[in-house]
Chain A
Amino acid sequence: MNEMASERLLIEACRSGDREAFRRLYELHKDRVYSIALHFSGNESSARDIVQQVFLKLFTRIGEFRSESIFSTWLHRITVNACLDEHRKQRRFISIDDQGGEEEGDENQFIESRVTIETDYSMIERSALVRRAVGRLKPKLRIAILLKYFEDLSYREMAEALGCSEGTVASRLNRGHRELAGLLEALRGDIK
């Protein structure tokens, strides 16, 4: 039985209200959804909210899911929307290391954060620096990058999840990676 067929059966069971099937579906996807939410929002409490929103929506609307479409695409789209909604709800979000707020597109904040990263370089582990740098990307670039790395999607799948063209996916990933490189200048040489 291939993955698509087995997933369809699992979803059929969910439609008829089988809670065990729901739990299985949740188990299959929860860690990746949580990881995206955590790295997107920068804090555990928002990440929990996002995961709950995603699966609540998923479970209550599973009847609307059209069996000819691909379940994972639907899940990714719900995840992206929940992340962006959470961002809109919080005018200022608190990043993972309590380093203070970030306003979208605020140039000064961007430069300031680069200085902070360089200063703390010797004290903070590498992955914490990367987490923090990702948290400083604009939400649209950030979500594109997280979706790419945690879900390993093709540009075509990403375009469907993000509701944009493949060209836009490519340009967001280009910008996102370049900005990350700028933020992480201090790490260059350590990450191979």
Chain B
Amino acid sequence: MIWNHVTKDLSAYVHGELTPDEARRIGEHLVGCRRCRHEYDEIRFGAEAVRELKIVSAPDSIWTDLEAALDARPDKKSWASALFPLPAFSYALAVLAIAAAIGFAIFRQQTPPATDTGWEVTRIDGAPAIGDQRIASRGRLKPGEWLTTDSSSRAQISVGQIGEVKIDPNSRVRLADASPGTHRLAIEVGRMEAFIWAPPRQFFVDTPSAVAVDLGCSYTLEVDRRGAGKLKVTLGWVAFEWKGRESFVPAGAVCLTRPDSGPGTPFFDDASTVFIDTLAEFDAARNDTEKMSALDALLPLARKRDGLTLWHLLSRTEGGARGRVYDRLTSLIPAPAGVTRRGVIDGDRGMLDSLWEPLELGDSSWWRLWKAPFPAPTARIETTTDNN
């Protein structure tokens, strides 16, 4: 792996000045380098702040002063020549030119870069279809259109300039939003594999019961006919979010989502089957009694590595239950100085963040800083009504 820090290229990265290969190299480096992520965050924050500056109209009186200054010049030759009008043809052209230039300037101000032409789709196997049109080798998926694969077809989507998504057989995905700065797919059913090298929080996938928010990574996402989903991260991080509930899923971890309850608690995929099943019982519990009984069974099964799961459980429990999660977590991984049982039970945000650090999954600050309001799903995914 190339390991040179990328700080000097970060503003060029933010401004889209790099070639796709260079941008990809930097995106990959950022996933693994805390120092450069911090620099990147500073630069992006600075760059976004500047957008607060607004164009201010020049006062009308400047032109009057300007004319007066020009008239007062001893050498007025250029103005004097205005007495000799341009040949009619040239004048007409100039007027047209002015109109065109103004028109263009207005057009340029109002037209965002043309990204609504959609994303390129390449056939890998079989006959994937956009709408009801089968793709021979390549096609374009436009906003609002569906890409469908049958049991023998697969396809690859280029996500603008920022990544690639492979669509497996028996899947149905829609391009939800490709407006500037936004990359959003919706998956109704099937399986997809995403590799995104753009900065975090630029690529979103809506599922019927959670939104996957890319934090610089690669992952797979599966959705079944009932709308339940499974997210598995292979590199970097993904946030799985729904109605205020969020899970942060690192490489090697999995998060399930269900139509009735949204994203479940993430776990490492090398955890024991009984741990995973008991966690699913906890996530599906309908009342406190069911929750407590699942928790009783779960906590003794947790390994040190399951600290990821226990940390998430702290925000999914309350009171005494939270205290017991805290006790188990800190018996596996000692709490850092300044963190108290009482404070955690009371929901102290700073203490929750401090407890994250000894999990050694990466600094929590970097993904917290990236957290910003993200666009809500553009439309609920309708229940399948296709006839096939």
Interface presence of B273 (CB below 8 A): no
Most A Cβ at <10 Å: residue of B48, B52, B70, B90: B52
- Pair B94/A18 contact, Cβ less than 8 Å: yes
Q: Is B49 an interface residue (CB 8 A)?
A: yes
A134 engages B56 (CB within 8 Å): no
Known: A155-B12, A170-B9. A180 touches B49 (CB 8 A): yes
Shortest Cβ gap from B90 to chain A (Å): 7
Q: Is the CB of B58 within 8 A of A34?
A: yes
Q: A26-B66, A39-B53 are in contact. Are A184 and B45 (CB under 8 A)?
A: yes
Which A residues from 169 to 187 make CB contacts under 8 A with B? 170-171, 173-174, 176-182, 184, 187
What is the CA–CA distance of A187 and B42 in the complex, to the nearest angstrom? 12
Q: Evaluate contact between B15 and A148: CB separation under 8 angstroms.
A: yes
Tally of A-B Cβ pairs under 8 angstroms: 181
User: How distant is the Cα of A184 from the Cα of B66 in the complex, in angstroms?
Assistant: 37
Cβ–Cβ contact A31 & B17, under 8 A: no
- Is the beta-carbon distance between A170 and B69 smaller than 8 angstroms? no
Contact string against B for A residues 9-48, beta-carbon threshold 8 Å, 1 for contact and 0 otherwise: 1101101111101011011101111110011000010001
Interface size on A (CB < 8 Å)? 68
Residues A34 and B57 in contact in the complex (CB < 8 Å), given A55-B66, A181-B49: yes
| B47-74 interface with A by 8 A CB criterion | 47-59, 62-63, 65-67, 69-70, 73
Q: Please indicate the chain A residues that have their CB under 8 angstroms from the CB of B81 in the complex.
A: 16-17
The residue in chain A whose Cβ has the minimal distance to the Cβ of B51 is: A149
Q: Is B301 an interface residue (CB 8 A)?
A: no
Contact of B78 among A32, A35, A63 (CB under 8 A): A63
Is A123 located at the chain interface by the 8 A CB criterion?
no
Contacts of A191 in B (CB 8 A): 45, 48-49, 52
Q: A131-B53, A176-B46 are in contact. Are A60 and B97 (CB under 8 A)?
A: no
A130, B52: Cβ atoms under 8 Å? yes
Cα distance, A146 to B54, chains bound together (Å): 11
A192 & B100 in contact (Cβ 8 Å cutoff): no
Report the bound CA distance from A171 to B53 in whole Å: 21
Output the nearest chain A residue to B85 by Cβ-Cβ distance: A18
Q: How far is the CA of A18 from the CA of B90 in the complex (A)?
A: 12
Q: Which of B55, B73, B80, B93 contacts A32 (CB 8 A)?
A: B55
Say yes or no: B63 contacts A177, CB within 8 Å: no
CB–CB A6/B53 < 8 A? no
25 inter-chain pairs at a CB distance below 8 angstroms, sorted by A residue, are: A1-B97, A7-B101, A9-B93, A10-B94, A10-B101, A13-B90, A13-B97, A16-B81, A16-B86, A26-B66, A30-B58, A31-B58, A35-B53, A48-B59, A48-B62, A56-B69, A63-B78, A130-B49, A130-B53, A155-B17, A174-B11, A177-B45, A177-B47, A191-B48, A192-B373
Given contacts A18-B82, A30-B58, A177-B47, 10 further A-B contacts (CB under 8 A): A9-B90, A13-B90, A24-B98, A26-B63, A32-B55, A130-B49, A130-B53, A150-B55, A173-B11, A181-B46
Query: Chain B interface (Cβ within 8 Å of chain A)?
Result: 7-12, 14-15, 17, 39, 42-59, 62-63, 65-67, 69-70, 73, 77-82, 84, 86, 90-91, 93-94, 96-98, 100-102, 104-105, 369, 372-373
